């Protein structure tokens, strides 16, 4: 943690940062524990891959040691609540008081793809390969990734990406709006740091209001969005003039 920036790092490089419910609980706890003065969060990963997705042991009858087998959730009375708990690890990155940046290299598959989608922005290495493989396994993406994917690339493109499970490389990711920029792997950390610094240069309250405006624009009509702009601007003017609470 440095200044108003926090860095969250996936650190199972020997397993290509395969994910598990234990990791999801840890990520959710990080979100709850972040100090209030944090303005930018960088999500990065050690090794050659951002995340190869859910640990394959989860798909076996035995499941991941110490965790409930996923197949049992279909018959469990608390199945919905369990999955909702998993989703917490993927949702707090979009909260209004901060901006999150996924720093993605190598493979980002399934849960790894959805974790990158959970962030506000994505900076990618030129070797990045995104893929949503859940449908090919007879499942659906259920870790809060479908909404941001559709918001970024549209429903038709999202359906094609999820339905085929194909790879999306860096150039395409930038072209279709999935990634903000792609750089050589050796420049990845520097590019993410530069973006974080640019965001931190803006006054915090103005950035918070702007993020809320843009997030809400997806669900508002044109006139409602204009009204939201006016209300936000009046709050900013009141704050700048010393009339705020």
Same-domain check for residues 156 and 171: yes
Same-domain check for residues 19 and 112: yes
Same-domain check for residues 129 and 195: yes
Q: How confident is the model at residue 74 (pLDDT cuts 50, 70, 90)?
A: confident
For residue 245, being part of any structural domain is answered with no
For residue 138, being part of any structural domain is answered with yes
Neighbour count for residue 198 (Cβ, 10 Å): 10
Q: How confident is the model at residue 2 (pLDDT cuts 50, 70, 90)?
A: low
For residue 86, being part of any structural domain is answered with yes
Same-domain check for residues 213 and 195: no
pLDDT for 236 equals 95
Q: Which residues of 35-58 are buried (b: 16+ CB within 10 A; e: fewer)?
A: eeeebbbbbbbebebbbbbbbeeb
pLDDT for 243 equals 64
The CATH code of the domain that includes 131 is: 3.90.226.10
Over residues 189-208, the pLDDT tens digits come to 999 999 999 999 999 999 99
Residue of 24 and 242 predicted with greater confidence: 24
Same-domain check for residues 70 and 116: yes
Average pLDDT over residues 140-147: 97
pLDDT for 244 equals 55
Average pLDDT over residues 42-61: 93
Same-domain check for residues 181 and 222: no
Same-domain check for residues 66 and 96: yes
pLDDT for 28 equals 98
For residue 83, being part of any structural domain is answered with yes
Flag whether pLDDT at 52 surpasses 70. Answer: yes
Structural domains in the chain (count): 2
Flag whether pLDDT at 46 surpasses 90. Answer: yes
Same-domain check for residues 161 and 231: no
Total-model pTM: 0.94
Same-domain check for residues 18 and 134: yes
pLDDT for 242 equals 83
Average pLDDT over residues 136-141: 93
Which range has the worst mean pLDDT, 2-6, 31-35, 75-79, 149-153?
Answer: 2-6
Over residues 150-187, the pLDDT tens digits come to 999 999 999 999 999 999 999 999 999 999 999 999 99
What tokens were used for 163?
């339905």
Flag whether pLDDT at 1 surpasses 80. Answer: no
Same-domain check for residues 131 and 30: yes
Same-domain check for residues 148 and 209: no
- What mean pLDDT, rounded, does the chain reach? 95
pLDDT for 205 equals 95
Average pLDDT over residues 19-42: 97
pLDDT for 43 equals 98
Same-domain check for residues 213 and 177: no
Q: How confident is the model at residue 72 (pLDDT cuts 50, 70, 90)?
A: confident
Structural domain harbouring 162: 5-200
Rounded CA separation 187/152 (Å): 24
């Amino acid at each position: 943690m440095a200044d108003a920036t926090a860095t969250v790092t996936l650190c199972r490089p020997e397993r290509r940062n395969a994910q598990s419910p234990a990791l999801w609980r840890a990520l959710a706890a990080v979100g709850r524990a972040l100090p209030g003065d944090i303005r930018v969060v960088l999500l990065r990963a050690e090794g050659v891959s951002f995340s190869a997705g859910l640990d394959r042991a989860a798909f076996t009858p035995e499941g991941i040691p110490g965790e409930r087998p996923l197949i049992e959730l279909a018959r469990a009375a608390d199945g919905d609540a369990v999955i909702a708990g998993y989703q917490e690890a993927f949702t707090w990155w979009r909260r209004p008081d901060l901006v999150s940046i996924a720093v993605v290299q190598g493979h980002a598959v399934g849960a790894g793809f959805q974790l990158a989608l959970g962030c506000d922005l994505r900076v990618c290495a030129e070797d990045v390969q995104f893929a949503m493989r859940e449908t090919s396994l007879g499942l659906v993406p259920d870790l809060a990734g479908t909404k941001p994917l559709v918001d970024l690339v549209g429903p038709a493109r999202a359906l094609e990406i999820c339905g085929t499970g194909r790879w999306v490389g860096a150039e395409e990711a930038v072209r279709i709006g999935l990634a903000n920029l792609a750089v050589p792997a050796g420049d990845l950390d520097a590019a993410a740091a530069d973006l974080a610094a640019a965001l931190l240069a803006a006054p915090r309250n103005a950035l918070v209001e702007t993020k809320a405006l843009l997030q809400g624009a997806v669900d508002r009509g044109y006139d409602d969005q204009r009204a939201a702009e006016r209300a936000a601007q009046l709050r900013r003017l009141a704050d700048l003039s010393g009339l705020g609470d």
